Each structure stands twice: as C-alpha cells, then as structure tokens.
Amino acid sequence: MQGTGKTRIVVSGINRSLLTKGAAALAVILVVGVLVLFTTPTHYYFRAEPGGLGLCQGRLWGMIGSAVPGYGFIPATAEGARALVGKPFATPEEALKALRPILEQAARDGVQAVTAKEKELAEAYKTVLPNLQGAKLLGVQGYEARVEALEKWMAVVVGSPKASPAH
C-alpha cells in the first residue's frame, strides 16, 4: 500500500514468525536426517543388471548406495540368482556365499546339458585339428589363435592330463 506522502509502506504477504519457525523445523529435520543416515548400518544387496547382478553397498534400505569394487557386475542368468535381488546382507562375503551355490549348480547343469554335443563335436574336430596344426606349422597365417583354442578345448572335452577339470 502506498500513502499519500513521500513515505512508502510495504505490506508483506509472508508471516515472519511462521517463516522463522519453518526454517527452524527444516534445520531440525535436516540434522535428524543426517544423523539417521550416518547411524544406519551399511547393508549389501544385489541389484539386477542386464545379463547378471551387481553387488552394491548402501544405507537406508538401498536408497543410497554404490557398487562394491570388483563386484559391480557378476554374470549370472540363473533363475535362483534373481531371488537374491534386493535382499540385505551384513557383509559382502555373506552375499557372495548366498550366490555361490546357485551359480555353481547352474554351471553344473549347463555343462551337463551340452556334454553330449561337445563329445560329438570333439569327434569331428579330431580330423580337423591335425590339418590346422600342419597349416600353422607350415606358416599359413590366421590359424594360431584357432589352433591354440581348439587344442585347449579338446584337452578339456576329450580329457587330458594337462586339462583342468571342467565337468
């Protein structure tokens, strides 16, 4: 509102008393929130990723979290692994201990499912591998990586004292 003289009177639409009380309440809420954040223990949980899981650590039921170094992505497509998503664990070892038997069983089942087909392929590759080795020995380019990979694969599938156990 304006007077008729040279003095101006400004009328505020904000109640200063309520503004002060609101600022004090906001400061209290902020302090309590920070205290809750720092007193809440860290939990570890799995997050769903395309083609796998990520192990994360966080507070406040996973709302504030970050990936655990070295376990940001764990390739896992087993159905049982998805059941662990969001479940809180006290330590990363506890979380990995829960995931390990699920992936071990899924790997065992997968290897068992393809073993018969691998044996068939190994029989076919028995005639191909000597020719590839000969071509490599004679200096034909482009077979080095294939020969090395096929020799290792054959050692595992057919069985060789040098091969590490896969089944």
Tell me the domain boundaries of the chain.
Answer: 43-96, 105-158
* Inter-residue contact 129 to 155 (CB < 8 Å): no
SS3 of 69-107: the string is CCCCCEECCCHHHHCCECCCECCHHHHHHHHHHHHHHHH
CA pair distance 39, 28, nearest whole angstrom: 16
CA pair distance 164, 43, nearest whole angstrom: 37
> Is the pTM above the cut of 0.75?
no
Question: Which residues of the chain carry a pLDDT beneath 70?
Answer: 1-5, 10-12, 37, 60-64, 160-167
* Inter-residue contact 37 to 64 (CB < 8 Å): yes
* Inter-residue contact 136 to 147 (CB < 8 Å): yes
Residue 49's contacts (CB-CB under 8 Å, 6 or more residues apart) are: 73
CA pair distance 52, 17, nearest whole angstrom: 55
How much is the pLDDT for 166? 45
